[in-house]
């Protein structure tokens, strides 16, 4: 389950920011996890709860935004929605798609005290 290592990475960033900005507690964390990122959202929630025990983020609310996938279709030269990896272009049926959005995993907001 790679979500555990991802959650640990998120906690490392939070702890680094806590040292740099001198906050004592995190109330909420907002993550952006694109639908093409290959992250199981419920597993990430479980892992986040596990790794944040006894940390500045213990008990923090985890808010996850899931932006849709986007891709550039090489055959028809369009930006198209991509519901999942391996889907064909909805316009031309082509398979040569380069993901351009929905692959991200990032912290977008921390509410702290």
pLDDT in tens, 19-67: 999 999 999 999 999 999 999 999 999 999 999 999 999 999 999 999 9
- Asked if 29 and 109 count as a contact pair (C-beta separation under 8 A), the reply is yes
Residue 67: other Cβ atoms inside 10 A: 15
Q: How confident is the model at residue 93 (pLDDT cuts 50, 70, 90)?
A: very high
> Rounded mean pLDDT of 70-83?
96
Domain boundaries, the chain: 2-69+101-112
CATH fold label, 2-69+101-112: hypothetical protein PF0899 fold (3.30.2320)
Could you tell me if 17 and 94 are in contact, meaning their C-beta atoms sit under 8 angstroms apart?
Answer: no
How are beta strands 26-33 and 61-65 bridged, if at all? parallel
Give pTM, 2 decimals: 0.87
Q: Give the SS3 label for residue 51.
A: helix
| Distance in angstroms (rounded) separating the CA atoms of residues 42 and 50 | 13
- Is it the case that residue 98 has pLDDT exceeding 70? yes
């Amino acid at each position: 389950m790679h979500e555990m290592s991802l959650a640990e990475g998120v906690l490392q960033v939070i702890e680094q920011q806590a040292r740099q900005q001198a906050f004592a507690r995190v109330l909420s964390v907002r993550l952006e996890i694109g639908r093409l990122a290959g992250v199981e959202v419920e597993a990430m929630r479980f892992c986040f709860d596990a790794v944040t025990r006894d940390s500045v983020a213990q008990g923090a609310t985890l808010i996850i935004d899931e932006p849709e996938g986007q891709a550039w279709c090489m055959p028809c030269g369009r930006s198209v929605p991509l519901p999942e990896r391996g889907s064909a272009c909805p316009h031309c049926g082509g398979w040569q798609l380069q993901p351009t959005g929905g692959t991200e995993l990032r912290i977008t907001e921390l509410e702290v005290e």
